[in-house]
Amino acid sequence: ILNVEQSPQSLHVQEGDSTNFTCSFPSSNFYALHWYRWETAKSPEALFVMTLNGDEKKKGRISATLNTKEGYSYLYIKGSQPEDSATYLCALHTSYDKVIFGPGTSLSVIP
């Protein structure tokens, strides 16, 4: 079974703080690395899909980087807001469309 790991498991930050999470994965034989945000009582929604080594994506205050050679991706949130509170999932899109998720990082932003 292919293992996708995420750290930390949970995180509590003050409003306005910047934060980052890590996703690590086997560094070969994959098509893409996905990041999703999963808010309570909602469905997970895609933030980024990254494929190339050195890829950097940005959406508002959230950005992500990808290092395929060493098998990790970082997700950054600048100036956290209470509405950023959610579980952040990374997923590895392997060959043949198998998509494997990590356990997630639960973020709580304290007003």
Partner 1 sequence: DGGITQSPKYLFRKEGQNVTLSCEQNLNHDAMYWYRQDPGQGLRLIYYSQIVNDFQKGDIAEGYSVSREKKESFPLTVTSAQKNPTAFYLCASSFAGGPGTGELFFGEGSRLTVL
Chain residues in the site for partner 1 (CB under 8 A): 1, 6, 31-32, 34, 36, 43-46, 49, 51, 89, 91, 93, 96-104
Q: Two tokens at 10?
A: 């949970």
Q: How far is the CB of 89 from partner 1 (least distance, A)?
A: 7
Q: Two tokens at 15?
A: 């409003």
Strand order of the sheet with strand 19-24? 5-7, 19-24, 72-77, 62-67, 56-59
Q: How far is the CB of 79 from partner 1 (least distance, A)?
A: 26
Shorter beta-carbon distance to partner 1: residue 28 or 43: 43
Cβ contact 84:105 at 8 Å: no
Shorter beta-carbon distance to partner 1: residue 17 or 49: 49
